[in-house]
Structure 1
Amino acid sequence: MTPTCALAEAVGSLPAADDPLALALNENPFPPLPAVRAALTASIGVVNRYPEFLPQRLRSLIAGRVGVADEQVLVGAGATGVILQVLQAVTRPGDVLVTASPTFDGYPIFAQMARLRSVTVPLDR
């Protein structure tokens, strides 16, 4: 299989961006906005580079945009990265993470990754 065919096969296996049922991973069911698409296209020449190691410039830009101090902005690799950073900052291995049931199925996984004990409590009806 040629690299081009392999890439086409990999891309073809992704769910359609406009599939309203592809929400299991908090995906947006709509395609990128034109401004987002333009920004992605404009940055294609540098996507092979690592981002800023300590993302101070990004934090400053976000803080300035929303009107808060830089120290109030936490940058991570998506919500999962931020959740793990918070858990590692405020817990110790062996601590308990209490979640409701049903809840987001990622929380027990995050607890395991942070070496926490996960306790599930059913929601009242």
Structure 2
Amino acid sequence: MTNRMQRREFLLSTALAAAGLGCLHSRAQSFKPGSPPDDLLLLNQNENPYGISKAAEQAILDALGRAHRYPGESQSQLRDMIAEREGVPKEHLILGAGSAEILSLATLLFGSEGKEVVVADPGYFDFVDFVRSARGKLQSVAVDAEYRHDLAAMERRCSRRVGLVYVCNPHNPTGTIVAGSRLRGFCEEVARRAVVLVDEAYFE
């Protein structure tokens, strides 16, 4: 009788444990990092809630026949168009495969191998990772009480060892904006000592 009861209790506890593991697995899957539900938009990563425009969709379809070729002359034409629109020399423009490539190149050029890089804290995580990968020295400056760049504190941090100053405006991850007049004055002053990189990807 005792053995039968022990066996029954063992089987019952095993069944309950198995059921519990199934629930845990299901919950673990639902909270798996980097796997949000398909119906959620990542607004913090610039996913467009309205979807792709019809004009952009048609342009992509029209270009499919040339997708197997390198950009070549079309890249130069795009630089010409941007230069004319923005009123800057073509030589001042560089194109990249997304802003991440440009940020990475800027870090390698001006913020690598022991050079100091001034950033807001918290700051855009990809850029911070680029600096660390390039062996730059992060000089993190806390955002102000309104979660904006503390430009005065960032300027004070700019010593002779600083090679690059990074301003993400609107800021990621806080979403705040520095007014253009304040930012221009900051850039004009700090650019005498270091390269200032203003990332405005989130104005889109």
Q: TM-score, normalised by structure 1?
A: 0.70
Which of structure 1's runs of 4+ aligned residues deviate more than 3 A? 13-16
Distance 1:119 1:67, change over 3 A: closer
Q: Which structure has the greater CA radius of gyration?
A: 2
CA contact (8 A) 2:111 2:131 kept: no
> 1:67 offset after TM fit, Å?
2.7
**Which is further off, 74-83 or 96-105?**
96-105
Q: Which residue of 2 aligns with 1:9?
A: none
Q: Which residue of 2 aligns with 1:29?
A: 49
Q: Which residue of 1 aligns with 2:144?
A: 124
Q: Which residue of 2 aligns with 1:105?
A: 125
Amino acid at match of 1:25: Q
CA contact (8 A) 1:15 1:22 kept: no
> 1:37 offset after TM fit, Å?
0.7
- The count of residues paired between Structure 1 and Structure 2 equals 110
- Aligned partner of 2:98 among 78, 81, 85: 78
> 1:57 offset after TM fit, Å?
3.1
| Unmatched 5+ stretches in structure 1 | 1-12
- Structure 1 vs Structure 2 CA RMSD: 2.7
Query: Is 2:90 the partner of 1:62?
Result: no
CA distance in 2, matches of 1:111, 1:92: 7
CA distance in 1, matches of 2:92, 2:143: 32
CA contact (8 A) 2:113 2:136 kept: yes
Q: Which residue of 2 aligns with 1:91?
A: 111
> 1:41 offset after TM fit, Å?
0.8
- Aligned partner of 2:135 among 109, 115, 125: 115
CA distance in 2, matches of 1:87, 1:113: 9
Q: Which residue of 2 aligns with 1:41?
A: 61
